[in-house]
Structure 1
Amino acid sequence: MKLKIAASLLALALSAGAAAAQPAKNLKEQIVGTWNFVVAEVAAPDGKKSFPFGETPKGVLIFTADGRFAQIHVAGDVPKIASNNRMTGTPEEYAGIMRRSLSVFGTYTVDEAKKTVTYNIVSSSFPNWEGEAQTRNIDKLTDDEFVNTNPNVGGGRGSASNFYRRVK
C-alpha cells in the first residue's frame, strides 16, 4: 500500500514538474484558434457607450498559425430581405444590413512587446478598409477570453473594444 502511495506521489510530482517546464506560449501562439464574437462596445470621446452590433451579436474571429485571419460581426437583429433574394433588396434593407454587419479578412502580425495585433486587410465588406493595416491593443488574452481594442475608430467616434470567447 505504501509503495502505491509513493508511486502515485512520484508520478504526480513528475507530471507537475513536466508541466512547469513547458515554456509559456507567446501571444501569437495564444491567439491562434477560433473565437466566438460576444459583443463590440464603442466608447465615444464624451464617455458615452454604444453597441454597434447590438448586445446579442453573432460572429466569429479566426486566427491561423500561418498568420491569416477572418472576422465576421453581425447584429443579432439584422433585417431579412423581404424578397428572399439577396440581389433584389430595397435600399432600406441594404442600408440596415450594411450598418449592422462587418466582415474582414487578411493577414495579421503580433507585436509581443507592445501587446498589439495588426490586421493587414486584404478585403472587407466596408471597402474603404481594403489594403489598410489596423492595429488593436490586446487588452486580455486567456485560454477562454480575448479582448482587443481599436483605440481610434474611424470618424473620431472613439475607441472600440471587441470581446470574444474561444470555441472549444
Structure 2
Amino acid sequence: MVKHLILAAGMVAAASSGDAHISDGEPSLAGTWVMDSAYEVLADGRRVTNYGEHPLGLLIVDPAGRYSLQIFRRDRPAFATGDKARGTPEEFRAAALGSSTHFGRVRIDAVAKQLIFDIEGASFPNWEGRRQVRDYVLQDGLLRYAVPASASGNGTTAYSIWRRVEQGDGDG
C-alpha cells in the first residue's frame, strides 16, 4: 500500500511540474486563450493582417505544457462544390493561407522572456519537429508574442495577441 501511495505521489508531482508552469510565482500558460488580434510586419516594414482584422483563434495549454493552437481568417471562402477533395486551386490556397495550426509542447523561459515551442504537428509541414523560440509579454491576462522572421521563410515577423479565458467565461 505504501509503495502505491509513493508511486501515486510521484505521478502527481511529475504531472504538476510540467513545462507550462515553472514554479510558484512564475508565469503559467495553462488554460484557454482566445485570439485578440494578429498582424504581420513584412520584410519591407509594412504592417498587414493576413488573417483579417478579427481572426478566430484558440490556444489551449494543459498543466504539463502540451498545447494546441489554431488561427483562422474569418472570411475564408467556402468550397463551391462542398467537397474538400474537389476544391479549386484558389480555394485550396485561401484555405491554406487563411489558417495556421500547430500542436506540441510549450514552455516559458521567464528569465529570457521567451516561449519555447517544440512543434510536433503543423498545418505548415516545415515547422514539424522544429523548435521555435518567441519573445513574449504576459500581462493583465494578455499574452503577446512575436513569431520570428526566420520561421516564415520570407522575412515576415508575425505578432499574436491572446486573451486568457477565465473559467466560466462564455467567450471563446
Common topology (TM > 0.5)? yes
- 1:98-121 deviation digits (Å, cap 9, x = unpaired): 011111000112111101111111
Moved more, 107-116 or 149-158: 149-158
Mapped partners of 1:94, 1:45: distance in 2:
25
In structure 2, the partner of 1:134 is 132
Please say if 1:151 is aligned against 2:148. Answer: yes
Q: Highest CA radius of gyration, 1 or 2?
A: 1
- In the alignment, which residue of structure 1 is the partner of 2:88? 90
> Secondary structure of the residue that 1:93 maps to in structure 2?
helix
> Any stretches of 5+ residues in structure 2 without a counterpart?
1-22, 167-172
Report Cα offsets for 1:102-152 as digits up to 9, x if no partner: 1100011211110111111101111111101011111x2134211111232
**Is 1:63 the equivalent of 2:61?**
yes
TM-score normalised per structure 2: 0.77
CA 1:149–1:86 in structure 2 vs 1: closer, same or farther (change >3 Å)?
same
SS at structure 2 position matched to 1:92: helix
Determine the C-alpha separation between the residues in 2 that align with 1:91 and 1:45.
27
State how far apart, in whole Å, the 1-side matches of 2:44 and 2:93 are: 27
Q: Number of residue pairs matched?
A: 143
Q: Is the 8 Å Cα contact of residues 143 and 166 (structure 1) preserved in structure 2? A: no
Q: Report 1:99-110 matches (<5 A).
A: 99-110=97-108
Distance 1:48 1:69, change over 3 A: same
**Contact preservation (8 Å) 1:78, 1:97:** yes
